[in-house]
Amino acid sequence: MRIDDPAMIRPAELIEQKRNGGAHDPAELTELILAYARDEVPDYQMAAWCMAVYFRGLTGAETQALTDAMIRSGETLDLGAALGRKVVDKHSTGGVGDKTSIALGPIIAACGVPLGKMSGRGLGHTGGTLDKLESIPGFRVELTTEEMVAQLRDVGMAIVGQTADLVPADKKLYALRDVTATVDIIPLIASSIMSKKLAAGADAIVLDVKVGDGAFMKTLDDARELAGQMREIGTRAGREVTCLLTDMDQPLGRAVGNALEVDEARDTIRGDGPADFTELVLEAASRLLAYSDLGVDVDEGRRRAEQAVADGSALERYERWVRAQGGDPDPALLERAAVRRPVPAPRDGVVTRLAALDVGNAALELGAGRRTKADPVDHAVGVLCFAKRGDTVLAGDDLAEVHARDDASAARAVEAVLAAYEIGDDAPPEHGIVLDVVA
């Protein structure tokens, strides 16, 4: 059934149906979302519907209908058609120190595969790729679709801000969920993420689903459920999708903070990055290259990604990309904080825990993030975590280093970062950055 007359949509009946555990007809759900996007359904009724979904969930068919409706509410891109070849993309569910896209894109492009990505800004302890890129002097994140396609042809990659006309229903619905305590519903999370990815026009996608203390998904089981739903949405839409479930119990890499993370991403592109971050970048690269039109498998994708790092072509591509979007890639031009304070180890031992959320909140308090969407971001401040889980330290060793604007904020951050560390006598069990793969 297709409903074209908004008057036929009765939101109260759909709310009651979901409240009672019923399943929506996909056409009715589609029209409900489109009517809401047209301001024909009031916020109070959609808030009630979200709460009903919170307790009753959505079926696979309902989640697919919701995703399709959000895509239909605005413009869509088809980058593959525009370029005449497969375009790949990567998305992360967000974490602390997650600068993966900045390092991954140039490696993929250096291997001859176009990567087009629309990214967002940070909120709370989770950093945003656009904020990090804007710490590069002159870097421009707002490109037109025509500029993005031209840059993909010329440079092989582009990371830009999401246009206002892309899935507007999702923006409106997410804002409502944010103020009604209905954000953490897996079907709505999956639909929100995948509507943006599908509308943005990539043919193959690697999804990095973070798991743990600093992530939205706290348990591996919840992360698997989210990954499974996102992959199902993508495959039903004809996309190739792999989900990497990755550790966010501690910050990714060493750097947390915008300019600091750009620095670390560049170091990783030239082969000098932290082991955990390097492994994640190469694993994602190998999967994306295997999805590309190069005709390679995951092992060959890994070899080519490592070669692009080793021979300098990835670094050369990074510099071309930054210049193409108006920035200067010279790391000496990144803004630096005036105050740097070490975080000394209080005793000998082994780092048994480094709480990602605590470090993220310490960086947020320094000004590296924003509490509301209107808050400014300080690109220079942040935290460098030298000691990670499993590392042996001696009393007085630098566990971390705080980068701050003044002594008072530095002192508070040193105390907060120290509280994020636990030091014991026995090393914790070892595991890699990738906890599972859903493919």
CA-closest candidate to residue 232, choices 80, 61, 27: 61
Supply 247's token pair.
């550790």
The residues, ordered by sequence, that sit 6+ positions from 238 with a Cβ below 8 Å of its Cβ are none
For residue 89, indicate whether it is catalytic: no
Catalytic residue among 170, 203, 249, 263: 170
- Count of H-run helices and E-run strands, the chain: 17, 13
Residue 332 DSSP label = G
> Which strands form 255-256's sheet, in the order they lie side by side?
255-256, 382-385, 398-404, 339-344
Catalytic residue among 192, 195, 286, 313: 192
- The tally of CA atoms less than 13 A away on the side-chain side of residue 154 is 13
Question: Is residue 84 exposed (0-12), middle (13-18) or buried (19+ Cβ within 10 Å)?
Answer: exposed
Residue 75 DSSP label = B
Site of tokens 């409706």? 69
Residue type, 309: V
Largest CA distance in the chain: 71
Q: How far apart are CA 395 and CA 397, in angstroms?
A: 6
Supply 221's token pair.
């089981």
Residue 439 DSSP label = -
- How many CB atoms lie under 10 A from the CB of residue 174? 16
For residue 135, indicate whether it is catalytic: no
Q: What is the CA radius of gyration of the chain?
A: 22
CA-angle at 298, arms to 92 and 276, nearest 5°: 50
Catalytic residue among 91, 341, 379, 389: 91
Question: Is residue 300 exposed (0-12), middle (13-18) or buried (19+ Cβ within 10 Å)?
Answer: middle
For residue 388, indicate whether it is catalytic: no
Q: How far apart are CA 198 and CA 195, in angstroms?
A: 5
For residue 297, indicate whether it is catalytic: no
For residue 170, indicate whether it is catalytic: yes
Name the phi and psi angles at 435, rounded to 5: -90, -30
Catalytic residue among 177, 197, 224, 302: 177
> Which strands form 392-393's sheet, in the order they lie side by side?
392-393, 349-354, 421-424
Q: How far apart are CA 245 and CA 207, in angstroms?
A: 8
Catalytic residue among 24, 196, 370, 403: 196
Give me the count of residues in the chain. Answer: 439
Q: Which residues form the catalytic set? A: 91, 170, 177, 192, 196
